[in-house]
């Protein structure tokens, strides 16, 4: 089936990653339907894109079933994505991420859809482990968010084995880029501090590290997951392979904004957050031909310009 004949459902498609992915898929010739409850996503993100937008929640079985009508493949991005929020409200995180993912997988099964690509996570799912982590690293999540993503991967593997569905779970590194104004992450938080002139706050001593990846590289991985000849139950890390401390990230954000002397303050570390993390993407390179293309300093400059042009100019 040609891509122009394929209808792809993207859950959470009006959110941060979805807003980057959907235009890419449309440009590649796919027909795209988006299911999003618009709590963290926005219909404005898809303005001018030839896409069918359905407003609804993945926790609602009837809504999910209706969204599957005529669909050939699914990209499941909808999730409650904050580690800190998951610690504060684990029930909501479970319902959004575990129940929501089960609803989507079960609807895929009942609709006879052959492939689903799911957003997972590397750091939060694996927990504290000596990096670089990979697909063989033993998962030991230390937050409800990490546990919810591990449960999703478990269900995906089970549905692949039991029902022959080609499930592909992509473990995202820490994503940044355009359309991230509602994301509760370090880059967005640091940029807002730079915009308002308030000090950047780092929780902990600044040595905690992450693997930061541009949304465009994540979307390349997602498209590869849709198109690659992958067996069901596949799990791949989509990462940069570079370890960056939060202190270095703050300095790079300051440089991207042209404010290298902006004040940075430190506060007590928060529970549930991984200390060190970065991942190797060697398996994704082998199976998808994946490799990151955007260097962090370059991507942060582009992201800062997007925030100034699109978000801060109207505040």
Which among 30, 145, 155, 290 is annotated as catalytic? 145
Who's near 142: CB < 8 A, 6+ residues apart? 124, 127, 128, 272, 273, 274
Residue whose token pair is 């319902």: 95
Burial status of residue 54 (CB atoms within 10 A of its CB: 0-12, 13-18, 19 or more): middle
Residue 172 contacts residue 236 (beta carbons within 8 Å): no
What is the rounded end-to-end Cα distance, in angstroms, of the chain?
A: 46
Residue 195's SS3 state is helix
How many CB atoms are located within 10 Å of the residue 184 CB?
14
Task: Look up 290 and say whether it is catalytic.
Answer: no
Task: Specify which residues 166 forms β-bridges with.
Answer: 115
Token readout for 190 is: 């640091």
Active site positions, annotated: 145
């Amino acid at each position: 089936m040609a891509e122009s004949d394929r209808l792809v459902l993207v859950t959470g498609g009006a959110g941060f990653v979805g807003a980057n992915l959907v235009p890419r898929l449309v440009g590649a010739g796919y027909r795209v339907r988006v299911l999003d409850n618009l709590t963290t996503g926005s219909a404005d993100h898809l303005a001018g894109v030839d896409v069918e937008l359905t407003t609804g929640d993945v926790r609602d079985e009837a809504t999910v079933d209706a969204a599957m009508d005529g669909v050939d493949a699914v990209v499941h991005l909808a999730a409650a994505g904050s580690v800190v929020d998951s610690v504060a409200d684990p029930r909501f995180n479970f319902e959004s991420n575990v129940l929501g993912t089960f609803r989507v997988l079960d609807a895929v099964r009942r609709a006879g859809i052959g492939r689903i690509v799911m957003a997972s996570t590397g750091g939060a799912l694996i927990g504290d482990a000596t990096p670089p982590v990979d697909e063989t690293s033993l998962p030991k999540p230390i937050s409800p968010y990490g546990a919810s993503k591990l449960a999703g991967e478990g269900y995906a593997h089970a549905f692949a084995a039991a029902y022959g569905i080609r499930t592909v779970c992509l473990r995202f590194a820490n994503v940044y880029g355009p359309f991230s104004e509602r994301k509760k992450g370090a880059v967005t938080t640091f940029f807002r501090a730079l915009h308002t002139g308030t000090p950047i706050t780092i929780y902990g001593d600044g040595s905690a590290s992450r693997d930061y990846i541009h949304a465009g590289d994540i979307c390349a991985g997602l498209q590869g997951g849709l198109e690659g000849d992958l067996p069901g139950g596949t799990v791949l890390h989509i990462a940069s392979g570079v370890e960056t401390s939060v202190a270095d990230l703050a300095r790079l954000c300051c440089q991207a904004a042209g404010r290298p002397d902006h004040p940075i303050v430190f506060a007590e570390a928060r529970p549930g957050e991984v200390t060190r993390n970065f991942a190797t993407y060697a398996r994704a390179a082998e199976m998808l031909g994946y490799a990151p293309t955007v260097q962090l300093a370059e991507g942060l400059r582009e992201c800062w310009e997007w925030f100034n042009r699109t978000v801060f100019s109207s505040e």
